[in-house]
Amino acid sequence: MIDIQWIRENRELVKENIRKKFQEEKLPLVDEIYELDITYRNTKQKMDEKRAQKNQLSAQIGVLIREGKQEEAMQKKSTIAQMNDEIDELTEQESHLAAQIHEKMMVIPNMIAPSVPIGKDDTENVEVQRFGEAVVPSFEIPYHADILETFNGLDKEASGRTSGNGFYYLMGDIARLSSAMLSYARDFMIEKGFVYCIPPFMIRSDVVTGVMSFKEMDAMMYKIEGEDLYLIGTSEHSMIGKFKDQVIKKESLPITMTSYSPCFRKEVGAHGIEERGIYRVHQFEKQEMIVICEPEDSDLWYEKMWQFTVELFRSLDIPVRQLECCSGDLADLKYKSCDIEAWSPRQQKYFEVGSCSNLTDAQARRLGIRAKGEKGTYYLHTLNNTVLASTRALIALIENNYQEDGSVKIPKVLQPYMGGLQKMFPQKSLSEKKSCKTEK
């Protein structure tokens, strides 16, 4: 949510920002909010004036009674009673107008950074830089689900019976490797000075609407039937929500936290759920990071945070690149965002494994996250970034460390988490896997 002062003073800039995000249907809202705000302030002024007049009359009544002027005192009491009715009516109008303004303001997108490239969707995101050499081996790399099945590491047939499409069982060394990556990512962030957190995996609706737009909420979140609770799509939601309605001491800033959680997503939209593999699924695990900081520090933290993800993936021998998200690909609360994409030697292209976002004070305004300074309280800035999402990171690691004989090298940083194991060997060949499928 942006500051309404921006609409009061910069209506055309707000409209231009909406146009840059290709959300022209929201343009009328700006003028509607502007007019409602004028009415709201006029109503509030009238109400304040009435209350001041009432207080003056109330003070006069005491004097009149002491002076024995009972009739005049009764007249003023009658006037006050009438004023009370008027004040009640103005209070109701003020409350109604405030609710209307708030509802419309929740839909207005955050102002985007001047550096954000203008584009309609993710096809117009801009590559900024690459890290590591994107190698295409001389031998064929199979589809990741086929590789995992040679290790008896993936069972989607069983998960289809228990849970339906979009779920999976990871087994044996593959399951251990997934957990090893998450444990390594946790320790990696702790070494960067972040406080480790295991947050609630369900949050209330007022937290959900505080951290994301209504459109994102409908597309992502699973609601618990009969309760005001949602399964989290990412632990950023509950970590930021931890500070809802709090005034944070300046000496406590910045707040830097990293968390582990399972994540649950509907994945509603054009992409759909992947039938065979684990690239786009309803459930995965993730190590996340968030920062709550002074407004003047958020740009610096943004640069630090996405670089942490690059550093982590490079330590896993995975080439990556950074993409600057264009205006049309930014969620409504984001000031700027970039994706980190890993190299897929099988597809010979990059795919998304994480996203880093600076939301300035958009989430903080919705959730009431503030600090107190010399000039009073003010809203802080919030940022979030994926450290490692289990399923996509597993795909990237398997493909980039796959060997011609079907084995998979374990990066050195993961070996302590795998009991010293340096290489995993398949339990059956690809031809055997295909033969089993044919027999079924």
What digits encode the pLDDT tens for the residues 92-131? 999 999 999 999 999 999 999 999 999 999 999 999 999 9
Closest CA to 128 of 306, 346, 289, 315: 306
Question: What pLDDT does residue 49 have?
Answer: 87
Tell me the pLDDT tens digit for each residue of 171-180: 999 999 999 9
H or E stretch covering 220: helix 214-220
> pLDDT-derived band of residue 312, with 50, 70 and 90 as boundaries?
very high
**What ranges do the domains of the chain cover?**
4-105, 122-439
Whether the pLDDT of residue 199 is over 60: the answer is yes
Tell me the two tokens of residue 294. Answer: 């002074």
Question: What pLDDT does residue 436 have?
Answer: 47
Structural contact between residues 380 and 370, judged by C-beta atoms closer than 8 angstroms: yes
Question: What pLDDT does residue 191 have?
Answer: 98
What's the average model confidence in pLDDT over 271-299?
A: 90
Q: Please tell me the distance from the alpha carbon of residue 154 to that of residue 163, in angstroms, as a whole number.
A: 15
> pLDDT-derived band of residue 437, with 50, 70 and 90 as boundaries?
very low
H or E stretch covering 86: helix 70-105
Q: Please tell me the distance from the alpha carbon of residue 89 to that of residue 399, in angstroms, as a whole number.
A: 67
Question: What pLDDT does residue 218 have?
Answer: 79
Q: How many CB atoms lie within 10 A of CB 172?
A: 14
Question: What pLDDT does residue 74 have?
Answer: 77
> What single DSSP character describes residue 407?
-
Q: Please tell me the distance from the alpha carbon of residue 287 to that of residue 188, in angstroms, as a whole number.
A: 10
What's the average model confidence in pLDDT over 255-267?
A: 94
Whether the pLDDT of residue 358 is over 90: the answer is yes
> pLDDT-derived band of residue 440, with 50, 70 and 90 as boundaries?
very low
Structural contact between residues 223 and 230, judged by C-beta atoms closer than 8 angstroms: yes
What's the average model confidence in pLDDT over 265-284?
A: 79
- Domain 4-105 listed as CATH 3.30.450.20: no
| Cα 431–Cα 433–Cα 434 angle in degrees, nearest 5 | 65
What's the average model confidence in pLDDT over 6-13?
A: 94
pTM to 2 decimal places? 0.89
Mean residue pLDDT across the chain? 92
Question: What pLDDT does residue 25 have?
Answer: 96
Percent of the chain with pLDDT strictly greater than 90: 80
Burial class (CB in 10 A: 0-12, 13-18, 19+), 230: buried
Question: What pLDDT does residue 84 have?
Answer: 85
Whether the pLDDT of residue 270 is over 60: the answer is no
Tell me the two tokens of residue 234. Answer: 């990412």
Report in angstroms the alpha-carbon separations of 189 from 159, 193, 388: 32, 7, 11
Q: How many CB atoms lie within 10 A of CB 120?
A: 12
Percent of the chain with pLDDT strictly greater than 70: 95
Q: What are phi and psi of 243, to 5 degrees?
A: -105, 15
H or E stretch covering 42: helix 27-66
What's the average model confidence in pLDDT over 217-240?
A: 91
Q: Please tell me the distance from the alpha carbon of residue 169 to that of residue 375, in angstroms, as a whole number.
A: 55
Whether the pLDDT of residue 337 is over 80: the answer is yes
What's the average model confidence in pLDDT over 120-144?
A: 95
* Domain 122-439: which CATH number of 3.30.930.10, 3.90.25.10, 3.40.50.720, 3.90.1300.10: 3.30.930.10
Q: Per DSSP, which regions of 120-168 are E strands?
A: 126-131, 154-155
Whether the pLDDT of residue 192 is over 60: the answer is yes
Question: What pLDDT does residue 14 have?
Answer: 96
Amino acid at 47: M
What's the average model confidence in pLDDT over 33-47?
A: 94
Q: Please tell me the distance from the alpha carbon of residue 105 to that of residue 113, in angstroms, as a whole number.
A: 19
Closest CA to 234 of 194, 192, 203: 203
Preceding amide of 200 cis, omega within 30 = no
Tell me the pLDDT tens digit for each residue of 390-399: 999 999 999 9
Q: Per DSSP, which regions of 250-361 are E strands?
A: 255-264, 283-293, 320-324, 336-344, 349-358
Question: What pLDDT does residue 438 have?
Answer: 34
Question: What pLDDT does residue 433 have?
Answer: 57
Question: What pLDDT does residue 434 have?
Answer: 52
Closest CA to 383 of 264, 211, 216: 211
Question: What pLDDT does residue 58 have?
Answer: 77
**341 Cβ neighbours under 8 A, 6+ residues apart:** 320, 321, 322, 323, 350, 351, 352, 353
Question: What pLDDT does residue 215 have?
Answer: 77
* Residue 55 or 225, more confident: 225
* Residue 282 or 213, more confident: 282
Pick the range with the lowest mean pLDDT from 192-201, 208-217, 224-233, 277-286. Answer: 208-217
